[in-house]
Structure 1
Amino acid sequence: MASQRAVRLSLKKPTHAVCVVGVKTYVDVRSDIPKEAKTFRVSGSPGVEIFIAHDPARVIEPTYKDHWPLDSNVDVTVSVDTASKALSDLKVKVSYFGEYEDHALGHSVLFLTGVDISLDVDTGRKGKAKRSQVDKKTWRWGPEGYGAVLLVNCDRDSLSSSGPDLANRQLMSLDDLKDMSPMVLTCDGPDKLFHSHKLVLNVPFSDCKRVGVFCARGGNSLSSYKQVLGPQHLTYEVERQPGEQKISFYVEGLTFPNSDFLGLVSLSVSLVDTGTLPEVPIFTDTVAFRMAPWIMTPNTQPPLELYVCSVIDPHGSNEKFLKDMSDLALKANCKLIICPWTENRNDRWIQDEMEFGYVEAPHKSFPVVFDSPRDRGLKDFPFKRILGPDFGYVTQKIPLAGPSGLDSFGNLDASPPVTVGSKEYPLGRILIGSSFPKSGGRRMAKVVRDFLKAQQVQAPVELYSDWLSVGHVDEFLTFVPTSDRKGFRLLLASPSVCLKLFQEKKDEGHGEAAQFDGLKDQVARSINEMLADRSLQSDSAFVQKCIDWNREVLKRELGLTERDIVDIPQLFHLKGSYAEAFFPDMVNMVVLGKYLGIPKPFGPIINGRCCLEEKVRSLLEPLGLHCTFIDDYLSYHKLLGEIHCGTNVRRQPFSFKWWRMVP
């Protein structure tokens, strides 16, 4: 809102002024007064409200309240409650009196033209632009918060577009309007007023590359909508038609919050008096928007689509893997999407290429794929095959040095909603692997970390993953949904639990039972041999320390207790200074609701059953989960990955509305 305007009165001729509905105008009753005047009286025609403010410590309120002293501590303001039908159809009269006289010494007349100017957006977050009593210039988080929300228009509603809709300066599809937030300009007043006044819509220079505005003139033609503000247009002189009282606009976001952008943008409209030089804005109304963040979904959200790659496999194992994935998706009532070899160019690591999330505003929500900077065989798949109508796309370009292994999105995970002390994270927290606590080493690119942090709603936690050869967090942790009150468990790979299990089996007389028994092209290792292998024991002790460091960070940052963690038996061995899974890494699983696709560990067979599988079943099935062990040995494990690395899942968004939280 503009600062309060001042109008000076004259005894010689009437004064004319424009008064915006609901906005007080200061009336200077002391600028031109009769010589002997000591008091004044003010009156107004119907439709005009008059306010007299005074300092009671310095001014004695008169017995007859219509006579006020001409004192600097007495101020007069006026306002109008409706737009005028004609110019100067409202009147304010000020009469001046001597100290002891009832006869007026002179009069000043102020003619007002009421005009209703208001820029309104969905401050109440109900999906419609509506007038509100809250401060439209501010944006507030939380259950009692307010302020409008913008979606980054990063989907592609028209297949004739070469990229996301936000790159287009003209409307390519009427469906695109559904992705934009409504904004309404009220401009009610006498038509003649707009012969000498104009309305100008503005976007600050700092925001012009972050927001676009389309003016709507009705109809079903694309030409009825034109972009009036954006990177190429900082101002727009509103084309008001005679008798027009409301003009509709649609607002789109052009960029997500980032290290140089907190997510807030503003737009304003000014009523400008063109009869002065220079032209003077006499009223400005401003609205604020917050860009909707990209939100990542954890394993605990119900699955919608399971993605997996079909690759050329000399062992023929990929075909069986795809069949197993199809069966698992069918159990989970989840759609299976197979990326063919022609599109993945034999790059099977679809988890590393992208991460699914979503954006949401009160009026609309749609999924958004975050394309990782790894750019291998699958590099074009997210943009060419996933970007489309109501399916957005975002990526972050990294410096010319290129990505490290930790920039792949197997190194990106999200926790379920958690409470840490008194701090709530209703959308969970993002987890990324790093070189901590080691100095130096590999770390996820700063531009990606900055992007994730800037979304604000899933405050990232950095874990230590650089002890692994591949270096991804999904190699030692995952979350699974449970049917109990807690609602989830954190699964951690555990060498110590695995060695304890093997020791128990040895003590029971099964020391000759062998890991990898019967597995082609792999040397079997008996329980006795593994327990006697000092190198394997030393490697396991090192890995356990690395995982335990992360365990404490996860407990602290996610508010977890030991009861919330399940240790999954798993061995690692060192290749040089980095660790690799000794047998298929069971934590690196795909989670489809209560159905788990777990890498088959090929553990020692005891009484006809794999003791590792039996141990995992005993840990997870009482939680309401169903374990399916899938052979990924040749197709993924031998290539330093597992099932989670070779799959990707799009999940249901949270029911919780992100704007109701307090970051």
Structure 2
Amino acid sequence: MASQRSVRLSLKKPTYAVCVVGVEKLVDIRSDVPRGAKFFEVTGSSGVDLYVTFDSAHVTEPQGKSHWPLDADVDVVVYVKEASRILNDYKVKVSYYEHQEDSALGQGVLYLTGVDVSLDVDRERTGKVKRSRGDKKSWHWGPEGYGAILLVNCDRDLYSSGEPDHRNSTLSSLADLQDMSPMVLTCDGPDKLFDNHKLVLSVPYSDSKRAGVFCARGGNSFSNYKQVLGPQHLSYEVERQPGERAISFYVEGLAFPDADFLGLVSFSVSLVDTGTLPEAPLFTDTVTFRVAPWIMTPNTQAPLEVYVCRVEDLHGSNKAFLEDVANLALKANSEMVICPQVDNRNDRWIQDEIEFGYIEAPHKAFPVVFDSPRNRGLKDFAYKKILGPDFGFVTREISSGRISSLDSFGNLEVSPPVTVGGKEYPLGRILIGSSFPRSGGRRMSRVVFNFLKAQQVQAPVELYSDWLSVGHVDEFLSFVPTSDPKGFRLLLASPSACLKLFQEKREEGYGEAALFDDLKYRKKITINELLRDKTLRSNNHYVQSCIDWNREVLKRELGLKERDIIDIPQLFSLSASVATALFPDMVNMVVLGKYLGIPKPFGPIINGRCCLEEKVRSLLEPLGLRCIFIDDFLSYHELLGEVHCGTNVRRKPFSFKWWNMVP
């Protein structure tokens, strides 16, 4: 139990005090004592619990009619169990004695008015507010942890409202309340008590711009709900109505965790005595929320929607590509969403513009799209077309400096759940590409990286991707789901595997089979020519060394073994010391459950089949996967992207609750 300040007794007149239910009050029994008094006795009326604290090494607890010694280290503590029905209905009496057997020399009387004041939230994370006497100030991770959770109210429940709901200090609709976390103020006690006492709800200044509180006074329509705490309101004198015993509040998050915000916000309610100068708070109760993090979903999560852009420009139409993706989505039982040309302004790289994730609290969850700072043709798509009821939006803008290709979200992936050296990452780990350590190359902006890191639940891993022309991690890695205990495989682009495959085919007598044999608009390159090209082989040895460096980082940071990794044949070409895929990059695929939309590589045809496709099938289909090769050569590959770059997938959230992990 929390302790209030002590109350002094008087021999001349009764003392009156307010006692909050369940909160201890220390009674000062020595401030006014009869002359000659050496002992005391304390009694209380029904409804008052009292006990005496003492040092058992120096004081013996009285037995029978014996009394407590006044000159020893002895204190009296009282508390009430229920709120009073009328003022001063609880009584405590302290009697003073010179000797154990004498009559009392005098008495001090304390009249208490019990008031029940408690600020409560969903501390136990059940989705409902329950009354708690436990620790409400602290917030703890893990399955045995506790503490309330807050969603950033970043959806837009009314399209006519324009901005996300958390940017408005007014309530847009009653549906808006469902995105907020409940908070209940108990304020039971005699109505007359509140003639000279008030309840004040407050938020620290540093938290006021990160969370807001709404309360309905005067009715139940959404127009009656007012923001009582927030950026413009640091405190609120609660408008308690006569007989009102509980007041409901609704709390919304205004900001995600970030470099300058750990994600914790607190609110307090104080019972204030207005009859003193200055006004004195008699009791304060404080609760703490953690703002729910933004969470990415890996390829192993089931697909819900596949997004793709319709374009037609100097490079032609991507109509055939759309048809192939539509057929793939149909097989995977996923809805396909086409961003029309008027909304994408011929920006086809929807993977680079946005990343889908979600936020979750015990009472509610909804998807949130993270809009990258690249700001090309698709820059308004997420805000104008995706943001809506129960679909949130977040972005980070780069205020100064040049935006690099590494700020695009093809450079943002997340692993499936992994365990590393006994440390569990049940939501996986974010993977981003960067420059080589301690080099001066391109890096993801700190604004974006700090945001990702601050979410805590998917601890980011930096990889080396600056060796690529575009510089995105999706150019050399992907994850695919499997039905075995591991649950996934990491796919890595592999020049070594490709050169080995071509060497085997040459030894089998197929040296004149040619890359791009099925393409009219590209010059054919035979296997013999590829293997004789010393520059090409040297360049790909360099590329392989870059991928191998990442391979070791991924094994270390994701706890992987070699058996968890599959090498996908791929060759690259080098220009000005940066690499691009020589033929469509098969790792840059879209994963829809067991169906894989893989860039068609147009490899050498042997016995009527592309040997690259056959090799990939032999590696992946025994795992229960289905390889579907999509021609993206003109519409994406020649523009330095592939199937993954031209698609985006919203996936099913994790069943695991993020608050049950320990970051």
Query: Which interval holds the TM-score relative to the shorter structure?
Result: over 0.9
Q: Secondary structure at the match of 1:394?
A: strand
- Give the whole-Å Cα distance in 2 for the aligned partners of 1:21 and 1:72: 29
Q: Which residue of 2 aligns with 1:329?
A: 329
Q: Secondary structure at the match of 2:159?
A: coil
How far apart are 1:220 and its partner, in Å? 4.3
Worse-superposed segment, 242-251 or 218-227? 218-227
Q: Which residue of 1 aligns with 2:70?
A: 70
Contact 2:4 2:282 in 1 (8 A): no
Q: Which residue of 1 aligns with 2:392?
A: 392
Contact 1:174 1:220 in 2 (8 A): no
How far apart are 1:537 and its partner, in Å? 0.2
Q: Which residue of 1 aligns with 2:40?
A: 40
How far apart are 1:437 and its partner, in Å? 3.1
How far apart are 1:132 and its partner, in Å? 2.1
Matches within 5 A, 1:400-439: 400-437=400-437, 439=439
Matches within 5 A, 1:224-263: 224-263=224-263
- Give the whole-Å Cα distance in 2 for the aligned partners of 1:95 and 1:554: 75
Contact 1:155 1:392 in 2 (8 A): yes
How far apart are 1:100 and its partner, in Å? 4.3
**Structure 1 residues 217 and 30, CA, compared in 2 at 3 Å: closer, same or farther?**
same
**Structure 1 residues 65 and 605, CA, compared in 2 at 3 Å: closer, same or farther?**
farther
- Deviation sequence 1:574-608 (CA, Å, 0-9, x none): 01110000000000000000000000000000000
TM-score (norm 1): 0.99
- Deviation sequence 1:106-142 (CA, Å, 0-9, x none): 0000000000000000001011111124300000100
- Give the whole-Å Cα distance in 2 for the aligned partners of 1:457 and 1:509: 53
Matches within 5 A, 1:346-495: 346-437=346-437, 439-495=439-495
Q: Which amino acid aligns with 2:23?
A: V
How far apart are 1:72 and its partner, in Å? 4.4
- Give the whole-Å Cα distance in 2 for the aligned partners of 1:643 and 1:446: 28
Contact 1:2 1:284 in 2 (8 A): no
- Give the whole-Å Cα distance in 2 for the aligned partners of 1:194 and 1:109: 23
Q: Which residue of 2 aligns with 1:278?
A: 278
Q: Which amino acid aligns with 2:37?
A: A
How far apart are 1:218 and its partner, in Å? 7.7
- Give the whole-Å Cα distance in 1 for the aligned partners of 2:248 and 2:263: 24
Q: Which amino acid aligns with 1:70?
A: L
Q: Which residue of 2 aligns with 1:593?
A: 593
Matches within 5 A, 1:487-506: 487-506=487-506
- Deviation sequence 1:156-201 (CA, Å, 0-9, x none): 0011211100011111111000000000000000000000000000
Q: Which residue of 1 aligns with 2:551?
A: 551
Q: Secondary structure at the match of 1:248?
A: strand
Worse-superposed segment, 329-338 or 517-526? 517-526
Q: Which amino acid aligns with 1:614?
A: E
Q: Which residue of 2 aligns with 1:611?
A: 611
Q: CA RMSD for the aligned pairs?
A: 1.1
Q: Secondary structure at the match of 2:223?
A: helix
- Give the whole-Å Cα distance in 1 for the aligned partners of 2:527 and 2:564: 30
Q: Which residue of 2 aligns with 1:658?
A: 658
- Deviation sequence 1:53-91 (CA, Å, 0-9, x none): 100112222233661010341010000000000110110
Contact 2:2 2:23 in 1 (8 A): no
Q: Secondary structure at the match of 2:236?
A: strand
Contact 2:59 2:72 in 1 (8 A): no
Q: Secondary structure at the match of 2:161?
A: coil
- Give the whole-Å Cα distance in 1 for the aligned partners of 2:177 and 2:633: 48
Q: Which residue of 1 aligns with 2:210?
A: 210
**Residue segments in structure 1 that go unaligned for 5+ positions in a row:** none
- Give the whole-Å Cα distance in 2 for the aligned partners of 1:648 and 1:397: 21
How far apart are 1:296 and its partner, in Å? 0.3
- Give the whole-Å Cα distance in 1 for the aligned partners of 2:65 and 2:563: 74
Q: Which residue of 2 aligns with 1:24?
A: 24
Q: Which residue of 1 aligns with 2:568?
A: 568
Contact 1:55 1:74 in 2 (8 A): yes
Q: Which amino acid aligns with 1:278?
A: P
Contact 1:42 1:66 in 2 (8 A): no
**Structure 1 residues 415 and 19, CA, compared in 2 at 3 Å: closer, same or farther?**
same
Q: Which amino acid aligns with 1:355?
A: E
Q: Which amino acid aligns with 1:208?
A: S
Q: Which residue of 2 aligns with 1:84?
A: 84
- Deviation sequence 1:330-361 (CA, Å, 0-9, x none): 00000000000000000000000000000000
- Give the whole-Å Cα distance in 2 for the aligned partners of 1:254 and 1:65: 62
Q: Secondary structure at the match of 2:136?
A: coil
Q: Which residue of 1 aligns with 2:268?
A: 268
Q: Which residue of 2 aligns with 1:531?
A: 531
How far apart are 1:317 and its partner, in Å? 4.8
Contact 2:311 2:317 in 1 (8 A): no
TM-score (norm 2): 0.99
Matches within 5 A, 1:107-256: 107-217=107-217, 219-256=219-256
**Structure 1 residues 476 and 65, CA, compared in 2 at 3 Å: closer, same or farther?**
farther
Q: Secondary structure at the match of 1:104?
A: coil
Q: Which residue of 1 aligns with 2:628?
A: 628
Q: Which amino acid aligns with 1:353?
A: E
How far apart are 1:35 and its partner, in Å? 0.5
Q: Which residue of 1 aligns with 2:342?
A: 342
Q: Secondary structure at the match of 1:176?
A: helix
Contact 1:326 1:336 in 2 (8 A): yes
- Give the whole-Å Cα distance in 2 for the aligned partners of 1:470 and 1:315: 19
- Give the whole-Å Cα distance in 2 for the aligned partners of 1:518 and 1:592: 27
- Deviation sequence 1:230-285 (CA, Å, 0-9, x none): 00000000000000000000000000000100000000000000000000000000
Worse-superposed segment, 539-548 or 431-440? 431-440
How far apart are 1:438 and its partner, in Å? 5.6
Matched, 1:289 2:261: no
Q: Secondary structure at the match of 1:200?
A: strand
**Structure 1 residues 131 and 442, CA, compared in 2 at 3 Å: closer, same or farther?**
same
Identity fraction in percent: 75
- Give the whole-Å Cα distance in 2 for the aligned partners of 1:451 and 1:548: 28
Q: Secondary structure at the match of 1:179?
A: coil
How far apart are 1:397 and its partner, in Å? 1.2
Contact 2:66 2:100 in 1 (8 A): no
- Deviation sequence 1:603-639 (CA, Å, 0-9, x none): 0000000000000000000000000000000000000
How far apart are 1:477 and its partner, in Å? 0.1
Contact 1:2 1:285 in 2 (8 A): no
Contact 1:258 1:454 in 2 (8 A): yes
Q: Which amino acid aligns with 2:303?
A: P
- Give the whole-Å Cα distance in 1 for the aligned partners of 2:66 and 2:570: 89
Matches within 5 A, 1:98-109: 98-109=98-109
- Give the whole-Å Cα distance in 1 for the aligned partners of 2:605 and 2:100: 114
How far apart are 1:316 and its partner, in Å? 4.6
Q: Secondary structure at the match of 1:4?
A: strand
**Residue segments in structure 2 that go unaligned for 5+ positions in a row:** none
Worse-superposed segment, 45-54 or 215-224? 215-224
